[in-house]
Structure 1
Amino acid sequence: MISRFRPARLAALIAFFLSVLGLPLIGTARADDYASDWAHTDQGAARLVVAPGQDGALRLGLAFKLEPHWKIYWRSPGDAGLPPSVDWAGSENVQIGDFAWPVPERFELAGLETFGYEGEVVLPIAVTVPHPGEPVHFKAAVDFLTCRELCIPNDVALDVTVPAGLEGPGPYGDLIDRYQARVPGDGSAAGLTLETAAVGGAGKAARLDLTLRATPGLVQPDAIVEGASPVVFGRPTQAAGGLETHLVLPVLDGADVIAKLAGKPLTVTVIDRAAPAEAPRAATVTLAATPLAETGPALGGLALTLAIAVLGGFILNFMPCVLPVLAIKFLALINEAGQGRRRLRAGFLATAAGILASFLVMAAALAAAKSAGLSVGWGVQFQEPVFLAALAALVTLFACNLMGWFKIGLPWWLAGRLQAGGGSLAGSFLAGAFATLLATPCSAPFLGTAVGFALAGGPGDIFLVFTCLGIGLALPYLVVAAVPALARLLPRPGYWMLTLRRLLGLLLAGTAFWLVWVLGEQAGSAAAGVVALLGVAAAAALALRHRYPRLGRTSAALTAVLLLGMLVPPAVLGRGVEAAAPAAGWARFDPAAIAPAVAKGQVVFVDVTASWCLTCQVNERLVLDKPAVKAQLSSSGTVAMRADWTRPDPAIAAFLKRYGRYGIPFNVVYGPGAPDGLPLSEVLTTDAVEAALAKAKGAARS
C-alpha cells in the first residue's frame, strides 16, 4: 500500500539531517552570533559574549580563560598590576558603559598584596543600543596584564556582529548573569551596613578602623580600600564589638601621611571570604574618613575641636530651636537685674549649671547607647513619639508657670539649700536644663563638626566635646556672672513684666502645639489630637486652681493625671503609621540611585530633614522654596531627593555617618563635577546652594 505524502514529516526529516551534518537552519541564530572567537595567548584566552536583553537591549561580557596559576587584575590591583582596559573604536550602534567587577581574590607574593582573578571570569559591561532592531557591531582592542611569578602584557582584538532580532537568553545569558551576581552591591542584600571609617595612629600603630553591622556576623572578613593612595592597607583583623563589627586594617605603606586621609572619601569593599564564590557576601560603600577615635587627634587638633564645640554651643543660642527658650532667658535677666551682685551672680551660675548638667547627662546617655551598639545622633530623641508627648507636657507646665498659674519649685530639703535672699535658684537651674532640652533638635554652624567628632570617638571624646558645647550655650550667663554690671543695661523690673510674662507664656504654648504637630507626623493625627486635648485640659485645671485656690489638691492631682495621660496615646496609637510621601518636586531618598544618576550626567541634591528640626524648616522656607532655587532643583537633569528623618531610618543614619555627621540638617550635592558629593553648611544660603549646583554640573558642561 502506497502511503500518503506528508510535507510536515518531510520537513522534520530535512531538519534532522541538517542538524546531524552540523548545518544551521534558516532563521535560527548561530553560536557565533552571540560571541567573538577566542583570542589566544600563551597565558590564556579572551573573548566577548553577548546575551539578548529586554526591549532590544543587550548584555555584554568580557570573558577570560586563564592557564593554571596565571591571573588578571581587579579594577584596583593593589601593590602591583594593571586592570584590563578596552578601546571600543570602530563599534557601531552601541554605547559602552563601565565594567562591573565581580568579587576579586586576594593574592600575596613576596610581601606584595594584589587583587584579581584566576581560572575563568567574566566582566559584565553595561551597554545601550541607540537603534534597537538594527545589527550591533562590537570591536574591542583589549589590553590586559597576566601575572604569575612574572608579568606579561597582552593585547588582543575581539570582533562580533550581533544580527537584529535575536531573542531568548542565548547560550551566554546564564554565564553573564552568574558573574553579575558576584558583583558587590550596597550591602542591603548581604546584611552588611558599613557605618564609619576612621584613620589615624602613627608608625606601626597607624591603621584604618571600619565599623559595620553584619547580620549574621562575618566569618572570614576581608576589606579592600580604594581612594587611599599613597597609603596601602593590609588584610583586616576582626575585633569584638557587641552589636557592631569592627575591622582593623594595618598600614603597610604611607603611615606618615595617613592623617591626610581624614575628611576624604574612601571606597571600601567588605567581603566575607567564607561565603561561596558563586554567592558571595560583599558590599561596596563610599564614605568619608574620620579621625581615629582611639588615638585621637594631635593636641592642637583636639584643642581646635574643643574650641569649635564652644563656638557651636554659643551660636546655638541664636538658632530657631532655642527661640522659645530665649523668652525664659530674657525674663530671668530682667528678674535678676534689680537684685544684689551676689544674688545676680548666683542666679546666672545656676542657669549655667543647669545647662552643663544637662549636657553631661546627654553625654552619659549617648556614650552608653554607643557602647551598647545602638544608633546615636544629635536630636534623635525627637524621633520617639513618647518623648515628644513628655516634652509637650513639660512645655505646657512652663507656659502655665509664665502665665502665673503656679510656681515651679523643688522639694523643701533641696529648695532650702538653693534659696538665697527671697528667691529660689531652682527656676534658674531648670531654665538652663529646659534650654538644653529644646536646643537638641537644632544644628548650628560648627555644631555638626563637634558632634561628629564626639560620636565617632570614645566616651572620653563624648564627655569632652559635650562639656564644651554646654560651656558655649551657657557662655552668655557665665559672662554676666563674671561681670554683673552688664545687667544694668537691662530695663528695670516693673508692672509691665506681668504682660510680658503672659506673652512669653503664649509663645511657649505655641511651642507645645508645634511639638504636638510633630507628634502627629510620627504617630498620626488621632494620637496627636488626644495629646492636644489632654494638654489643654491640664492647662485649664491649673488655671482653675489659680482662680479658685480651694481646688488646690484636687486640681493638682487632676493635672498630674492629665499630663501623665499625654504619654499614653503615642504609645498605643502611634504604631504602624506610614511615613508621608515627599512634597511635590521631591523624590523619595534612595542612596542606591545616586551613583547611576551621576553616571548619566545628572545632578542629585539630597536634603536630609525632619519635621522636628526647626533649622531644617527655616532652610526650606528661606532657601529651598525660593523660586530661583526651586527652579534649579526641578530643572531637567537635576534630581532632588528628600530624606525624611522624622522617624528612625537606618538607611538615613548610615548615609549621615558616611560623612561623619550625626545631626541634621544635612545637604549634599552630587554630579559629574562632584561624584563624591559636596556637603553644605547646616544653615543654607541661596548663593551656597546655587554655587554647589553649578560646581556639581561642572564636568557635564565641559
Structure 2
Amino acid sequence: MFLKNLLVLTSAAILFAPAIGHTEPVVKDGTPRYVETDLIPEFNSITEGQPLHLAITQKHTPGWHTYWKNPGDSGETTSIEWTLPKDFKAGDIIYPAPETQPTGPLVNFGFGHDETLLTSVDVPKVIADDHVTLTAKISWLVCHDVCVPEMKEITLNLPVIKDGTAPVANQPEIFTAARAAIPVPKPWQGMLEEQNQALTIKFQLDEDGQKMLAGAKDFFFFPEEWGIILNAESQNIRVENNQLIVELRRDTRPLSDIQTLNAVLTFVSEKGDKESVALSIPVTAKAVTAPVAVPPTSTTPPEPTSFVQAIFLALLGGLILNLMPCVFPVLSLKALSLVKMSEKEQKHANLHGLLYTAGILVCFGSIAGLLIALQMAGQQIGWGFQLQNPIVILLLSYLLFTMALNLSGFFEIKSGPLANIGHKLASKHGYKGTFFTGVLATIVATPCTAPFMATAMGYALTQPPYVALTVFMALGLGLALPYLMLCFIPALRKSLPKPGAWMETFRQFMSFPLFASVAWLIWVYAQQVDGGYGTILGLSGLILIAFGIWIARHEPRRQPWKTGIHALSISSIILAFMIAGFSHTDATQTKAEKESSVPHISFSTTEMDTLIAGNDPIFVDMTASWCITCQVNERVAIYTDATQSLFKQKNVQYVVGDWTNQNPEITAYLNHYGRNGVPLYVFYGGRDATTGQRPEPKILPQLLTSGLIADVINGEE
C-alpha cells in the first residue's frame, strides 16, 4: 500500500509527543503477536456452485491498531494470499466502518478494537474431490509507537456436500455481527466540485436519508482512495435543505486518477448510536476541471469578460511566442529568406505567407481538438499536456537538436519539409516546405508559454468547443502574423537588411537558442525519468542522433561500404527513438536514492562483526519504508546537518538496516535486543584506548531528536 512520504516529511511534531509504553504481545502457537487472527468459514462444509463466506477475526492488544482499505496518511492494509484448488476464485475483503487513528499531526484509518472482516471464495459447480483444502496467508501491519508486520497462514480442510444436504452453520453470531457492521450502501445522488484546493460534495437525500440523518452529529468522511483529501484537516459536514453537504480540504492526487469516488460516512444518530453508510460519487469532467479563482495581482492580465477580449489576448500571446528561443530562429530565418524576393515575385511571397499560416493553423487546430476532446472525457490537462509525456519531451529535444545542428552548419538538409529553413523560398517547389515549416513552428512553440496566453486559454477551455477552437486559431494566427505581414507588405521586406555573408553567420548564431532549448528539455526529461538516469538516457539519445547524421555525411561511393554506412546511420537513429519509446515517468524517489545523499553502511551480520571488531563508534538504524516513526526520525534527527557533522567529527559509522522486506539477519538482530519491530536505534561507543574494551551498547528511544543523538554520542546520557 502506498506510503505518503510527503506527509511524513511534515510530521516532526510527532517526536515531541509522549511515548507510550509497550504492551506485551499475545503468544499464539509459540509466536508473539499483537493481533490474534483467525479464519472462520460460515459453514462446516462446501456446497457445489455456492460461494463460501469466511470471517477474518482480529483481536487487538490494547493500544495497537491495524488498517482499513485506505490506511490514511501511513500504514498498510490487510491482505490475503490464497492457495486454492482449480476453478476456485477468491473475492475481495469487505471491511466494517473504520475509525480515525491520530498519530501526531497525521490521521490514519483503521481499527483499534476487535473487528471482523469478511471475504468469500467462489466455488465451481462441479468438484471431483470429497474434501477441499483452502490455504490463506493473511498479512497485516499493526502499529503503536512502533509498527510490526505480522502474518499467519491458516489452512481449512472442508468436506464437499453433493447430495443436497443442508450445510451446518458455523458460529453464525460472528457473521451476523460482522454483516451488521458493514456500512449500508445508499443511492443518494451526489455532485462533486473542486475549487481552490477544496472539495465540496452535495448529496440529495431521499426520505429515508432525511430521517436517518435528522439530528445526527460527529460526521466523518472516509474516502476509499488515498491522496484525495487531507485526512488531518477538519471536515465541515452538515445537513441543509434536504442535502448532505461535505466540505473537505484537497490533497495532491488528481481526481482524474479515479472514475468514481467511493467513501464511508460515519456519524452518531439522534439516538446516540454509531452508524455508517457507503456512498458513491461519479467523478465527472466538470468536477475535475472546475475553474479555480486566482487572486488578481498587478502583473496578472484581466480575466476576459467577452469573446472579443479573449481573441485579442490570444493574438497578442501568439505574437509574443515568436520571441521565444524555440520559435525565434525559425521565424528569423524564414524572414531573411524573403530578402532576395523582388516586387515582381509578390504573388509567390503571398502564397508562402498563406501556406506558412495554414501550416500553423492546421497544427494548432489538431492540438486544440485533441485537448478539448480529452478534457470532455474527464482528463485534467491543459495547454502543453503532451509535454507531460517523457517520450514527447525526448522526441522534441531530438527535433530541436537536429535543427540546431543544421543551423550551425554541421550538416545541410537538402530536401524535405525542413529544407526551407535558411534557404530561398522563391521557387514554386518550396511551397510544400513552407507549409511544413509552419507546422514545425507550432511544434517547437509548444514548450513555451507567452504572456496573455494563459488568460486566453483559460477562457477558451470553459467555452463550447467551437468557441474554444476559435480562440486557439487566434493564437495560431498571432504566431503566423509577423511572417504573414512580411509576405504581404513589400515595404516591410525592404526594411530587412540587405543580403550578404552576414546571413550565414546569423544562421549559425541562431543555433544556440535551440541548443539552449535542448538543454532545458533534457532537464525536464530528467525530472520525469528518474533523475540522473534520465539525464544519461536523454544525452545518449542526442549522441546517437549526432552520430547517425555525422556518419551519413561520410558516405563512401563504393559498395558494400555504402550500404553498411547507411545501415549504421539508420540504426543509430532507430536506437535513439527506442530510448524515447521505452521512457516512462518515475516522479517518485526510491529509498535507496534518498539514502544515497547520506553516507552509510548497509547492514549485514558480517559487516557488523567487522565494525564491532574495530575501534570506531557505531550508530545502527533499523528502519523500513512503511514505518512512519522511522521516516520522521530520519528526516528531523538523523539526516540533519548537525547529526551528520557530528558523525563525521566523531568518526561514527552509520549503519542502516532496511526491513522494508523480510530480512532474516535484521530479524535476528531485532530479536537479540528483544524487539520484533522497527524502529530500533543502537549506539556502540568507541573502543577505549587504555582497556581495549567497548562500553555496553545503548538503545536509544524510538522517538529521536538531533540533541538526543548528540547527548548519547557525547556520553551525556
> TM-score normalised to the size of structure 1?
0.41
> TM-score normalised to the size of structure 2?
0.41
